[in-house]
Structure 1
Amino acid sequence: MKKMKVLFVASVYRHLTAFHIPYIKYFQSQGYEVWAAGTGVADKEILEKYQVKCVDIPFSRSPLSLKNIDALNVLKRLFHKEKFELVHVHTPVASILTRAAFRKSNYGKIIYTAHGFHFFKGAPKLNWLIYFTAEKVAAKWTDHLITINEEDYQNAQNLLPSEKISYVHGVGVEFEHEFFTENEKKHFKKQLGLSDKAIVISYIAELNNNKNHQFLLRNWGRLKQENPLIELLVIGNGEKENDLKKYVEKENLLGIHFLGFRRDVLKLLQISDVVALLSHREGLPKSIMEAMVVGIPCVVTNTRGLRDLIQSNKNGFVVNHEDDTALITAFTKLVQSTELRGTMGKCAKESIEPYLMDKVLMEYIRIYKNLLK
C-alpha cells in the first residue's frame, strides 16, 4: 500500500528545524511519509536525519526576485509528480508561490501558517499594497489559514471566511534540558568571558533592520555607565552584523558580546537575567516564549506578537518604539532589582502556559484532522 504523504514548505529549511520538528514527528507517528521543501544545506541534513525527504527550492525572500519564477516551476513539477494529502506552508514568499503552484491540484489540502503578516498596523503603505494584495489572491487557493497573534487574526477576517481561519498559540515552546547547577553556570559564564557577578541581557534575533538592535545599542553607553555589571549577549547572525559591530567599535561600547548563530540558546538562557527584543515586526517570537518558560522577564517594543506575550509591569516591560527614556527606565528597574526580576520571571512562567508545546500541538492536530477527515 502506498504511503500517505505530507509536505512542509518554508523559504529556508532552518525555519522547519527551528519550529516544526514536533509536527513532523506527529505525522510520522501517524504513518505519513514526510517531505520538506526549502533551501539551506546544514538544516537539510538535520531534516534528513529525521527521515524527511527534502526537495531544494530556489526561493528568494524578495517577492520581486526572478529566482522565484524558477521556484514556482520546481514546485509545479513536484506537485505534478507527487500527491500529498496535506501541504503545510510557512513564510510569506514561499507561501504565495506554493499556493500558486498547488492551485490546480485536484488532490490534497493546503494550509498556510502566517508567522506575521507583512501588512500590520503602522506598516508602510507599500507593504499593504504588495503583501495584502498577494494574500487576497492566494486566499482563493488556501484551504485553511492559521494565525498566531490577535492582530493577524483580525486582519485575516478580510481574507477568508471565519470557518477557514484559526488562531493558535504560536508554534509551541518546550524546555527539554537539564538545568545548570550554580557551578556549571559560573563555568559557562567564564567560557563566554563573563564574570560571576555579571547581569546578563540576551538579545536573540537575526541581525537585520527589523529586529532593531540599534535601539538598544544607541542607549547602551548610558545603561552601562549607570549599571556597570550589565553585559549584552547578541545571539544571531545576519546582514547587519558588520554594521552593528562597527557601531559598537566606533562608539567604544563595552560589555557587548557578538556570539553569532547558536544552537545552544537554551543554555544561554540559563545564564540570562533579562531578554530583549525590540523588533518593528513580529509574528509570535519563540525567543521570548523560551525566555518566559525559563522564568526570565523581557523588555520588548509595543509590537504585534510581542505585546501578545508581554504585559508591562507584570512579566516584563513593553516600551514604545524609539522611546529612549522608557527603554532605559525598563532595563534599569530590572537590572537593579533581583526581587523584581524574580517576581516578573515567575509571572512570565505562569503566563506562557497556553503556549506550551503539548497544548499547541493539540490545537494543530485538531485542524489537521478536520481537514484530512
Structure 2
Amino acid sequence: MNMWSMWKQPCVEASQGMKSEENVGLRILQVAATSVTVEKLLLPLIDALLAQGHNVDIACANGKHADALITRNYNILIFPFKRALLSPSHALSFWQLFWHLKKTRYDVVHFHTPMVSLIGRIAAKLAGESVIIYTAHGFYFHDQMNQLLRGIIVLIEKILARWATDWLFLQSMEDMEIAKEKRFLIDETHMVWIGNGVNKDAFLAKYDIEGKRKEIGLKKNDKVIAFIGRIVKEKGIVELVEAFAEIKSSQPIAKLLVIGEALESDRDRSTYIKIQSFVKNAGMQNEVLFLGFRNDIPELLAASDIFALPSYREGMPRTIIEAMMSGKPVITSDIRGCREEVVNKETGFLVESRDVNSINKALGKLLSNEELVMEMGEKGRERALALYDEEIIINRQVSIYDTIKQSK
C-alpha cells in the first residue's frame, strides 16, 4: 500500500448489526475519541435515536469497550483517534474521517470530546456534511490555564463554532453563558443547554450494602469515601490520598475507595504508580482500596458514605450526579461544572483545587458528623432528581434531531 492510499484508507468497520436498509430516519454518525466515552456516556442518546428509527454509526478508537459494543451489535467504525493535544495520529485520523464522510454522506455528524471535535469538525465541513453538531461536555479552556493559552483556545473554539458547527450543545450552564458572551454562534437559538444526567432508577434502587462491603473488603461500620474517575493528576487524586493520610489517625475506621484506572489514551501514566507507592509507604494498603474499572457503580456508591472528586478542571461531571442521586454528600473543587452541581455547605463542600488542607477540612467535617452526611446526602438527591434526570437530558437532544429531520 502506498502512502497516499494509506491516507485514504477508510476506517475499519467492525460491526454491521445496527444498519437498516429501509433508512426511514436520519443517517447519523456519533464521533468520540474513545470507546469508553461511547459506552459510559453516549449510549443513552444513541439508543434513543435508534428507537426513533434513525440509522446510527459510531466512530471511536479501538479498545476493549469497542469490543463490548460490537458484541452488543452497535455499528462501530474504528479510527486512530488520540486524546492528546499533540499527536501524529491526528493527521491520519483527519484524512481517514474526511474520506469516510465524503463516501458515506451522513445527514448529521455529532462530535464529542475536545481533540476529535476539533479535527473532526474541520473534516466534516470540508467533506460537505449536511449538519454538524458539537457537544461541549466541558470546554477545554479553564480558569487556571495560562491566560494567553486560554485566549488562543477560546478563539479556536469560536472560529470552529462559527465556521464548522450548526448546533452547539452545552452540558454546563457556565459554558453556555461563556458561549453566548463570546458569541460562538450568531444564531443563539442553535446553542442549546442540554445539561447532564443519569438513569435515576439505577441509583434509587435498593442494594445489599452489607454484602457489597464484604465483597470488596469493607466492614459494616467503616466510614467510606469513594472516588470515581481516571487515575490522573488533574482529577485531584494525589491531593485526596494525601488528605486522607492526614486525617486517618483521627478517623481509624475511614476507608478510601479508588474506583477507576488510567486510560490507555492518557498521557499521565505515572500518577497511578505514584499514589500506589504513597499508600504502600504510608502503610495504608488496608485503608485505600484500588478497585479499577467497575460495572457496579450504583452498588459501590450505595455502599459508600461520602463522594470526593477534587479535580483541577471538569466539564459537567457525571460521577458527581451519580453520587448525588445515590444520596451521598460530595466534596469537589470550586471550578466550572462542579460548582454548578454541588451547592456549597448544602449538598456537600466546594474546596480549593490542588489544596490538601481544604480537602482535609471537608473530610473531617463529614467523617465526624453522621447527621450532616445524611442531611447533605438527602438534599443532594433532591437536587439530582429535580435537575439531572437522564431522560429529560436525552429528550432535549432528540427534539433537536426531530427539528433537523423536519427541515430535510
**1-structure distance, mates of 2:310, 2:304:** 17
Tell me which of 376, 381, 387 is aligned to 1:354: 387
Q: 1:134-164: CA deviations, max 9, x gaps? A: 3233211100111111321122122222222
Aligned-partner residue type, residue 299 of structure 2:
K
Q: How many residues align?
A: 371
Q: Do structure 1's residue 166 and structure 2's residue 192 form an aligned pair? A: yes
- Which moves more between the two structures, 260-269 or 46-55? 46-55
**1-structure distance, mates of 2:343, 2:129:** 44
8 Å CA contact 2:101–2:129 kept in 1: the answer is: no
How far does residue 296 in structure 1 lie from its aligned partner after superposition? 0.7
How far does residue 327 in structure 1 lie from its aligned partner after superposition? 2.1
Aligned to 2:4: none
Secondary structure of 1:176 counterpart: helix
Q: Do structure 1's residue 227 and structure 2's residue 251 form an aligned pair? A: yes
**1-structure distance, mates of 2:32, 2:201:** 24
Aligned-partner residue type, residue 28 of structure 1:
L
8 Å CA contact 1:223–1:328 kept in 2: the answer is: yes
**2-structure distance, mates of 1:118, 1:251:** 35
How far does residue 104 in structure 1 lie from its aligned partner after superposition? 2.8
Secondary structure of 2:145 counterpart: coil
Q: Do structure 1's residue 214 and structure 2's residue 238 form an aligned pair? A: yes
Secondary structure of 2:201 counterpart: coil
**2-structure distance, mates of 1:295, 1:143:** 38
- Which moves more between the two structures, 22-31 or 100-109? 100-109
TM-score, scaled to structure 2: 0.86
Q: 1:36-80: CA deviations, max 9, x gaps? A: 001133222232344321111111212321110000011011101
Aligned-partner residue type, residue 333 of structure 2:
T
**Aligned pairs for 1:288-307 within 5 A:** 288-307=320-339
8 Å CA contact 2:98–2:126 kept in 1: the answer is: no
Q: Do structure 1's residue 144 and structure 2's residue 144 form an aligned pair? A: no
**2-structure distance, mates of 1:20, 1:357:** 11
**2-structure distance, mates of 1:177, 1:311:** 20
Say if 1:178 and 1:121 are closer, same or farther in 2 by CA, change over 3 A: closer
Q: 1:93-134: CA deviations, max 9, x gaps? A: 010111111103444211101111111222223642553233
Aligned-partner residue type, residue 130 of structure 2:
G
Aligned to 2:221: 197
Cα RMSD for the two superposed structures: 1.8
How far does residue 366 in structure 1 lie from its aligned partner after superposition? 2.2
Q: Do structure 1's residue 52 and structure 2's residue 54 form an aligned pair? A: no
How far does residue 371 in structure 1 lie from its aligned partner after superposition? 2.8
- Alignment gaps of 5+ in structure 2: 1-20, 263-268
**1-structure distance, mates of 2:33, 2:149:** 19
8 Å CA contact 1:175–1:290 kept in 2: the answer is: no
Tell me which of 139, 152, 155 is aligned to 2:178: 155
Secondary structure of 1:123 counterpart: coil
- Alignment gaps of 5+ in structure 1: none
Aligned-partner residue type, residue 396 of structure 2:
E
**1-structure distance, mates of 2:156, 2:275:** 33
Secondary structure of 1:20 counterpart: helix
Tell me which of 140, 144, 150 is aligned to 1:118: 140
Aligned-partner residue type, residue 341 of structure 2:
L
**2-structure distance, mates of 1:156, 1:305:** 14
How far does residue 171 in structure 1 lie from its aligned partner after superposition? 4.9
**Aligned pairs for 1:1-373 within 5 A:** 2-3=22-23, 4-125=26-147, 127-139=149-161, 140-157=163-180, 158=182, 159-161=184-186, 162-176=188-202, 179-180=205-206, 184-238=208-262, 239=269, 240-253=271-284, 255-352=287-384, 353-373=386-406
8 Å CA contact 1:354–1:360 kept in 2: the answer is: no
**2-structure distance, mates of 1:177, 1:328:** 27
- Which moves more between the two structures, 43-52 or 282-291? 43-52
TM-score, scaled to structure 1: 0.94
- Which moves more between the two structures, 160-169 or 273-282? 160-169
- Which moves more between the two structures, 150-159 or 273-282? 150-159
- Identical counterparts, % of pairs: 28
**1-structure distance, mates of 2:257, 2:62:** 26
